[in-house]
Amino acid sequence: MSFDFVDSIQARKNLMKHGTKVLYSIIEAYDAGMFDDPSLCYSFGNLLASVCEGKVQGTLDDETMRVKWSLTPEHEKKLEEEAIARQQKNVIIGPW
């Protein structure tokens, strides 16, 4: 997977676009005790980084008041293309 640099202005825009959802997620993580476990805390930090990079988008479930995060369609397509490219590199073409 490749890394796409996002400047601080774009990261701020992406984060502000999901500001309320990020706050709900922080509360959920705190209530679940995620910040007490280093590996879960690391995962949550990666989620926030992905929000800043514009790789994920959140939706707030009005009934449960929980945030559901998913890949953006653009990033999902990019990951699929990278997976296909990796598979094609592992194919040896020849008259066997």
Beta-carbon contacts of residue 22 (< 8 Å; ≥ 6 apart)? 15, 48, 51, 58
Secondary structure of 13-43 in HEC code, one letter for each residue:
HHHHHCHHHHHHHHHHHHHHCHHHCHHHHHH
Identify the bridge partners of residue 58 per DSSP, sorted by sequence position. Answer: 69
Residue 18 CB coordination number (10 Å): 22
Task: Check whether 1 has a pLDDT greater than 60.
Answer: no
Q: What is the pLDDT of residues 23-79, one digit of tens each?
A: 999 999 999 999 999 989 999 999 999 999 999 999 999 898 899 999 999 999 998
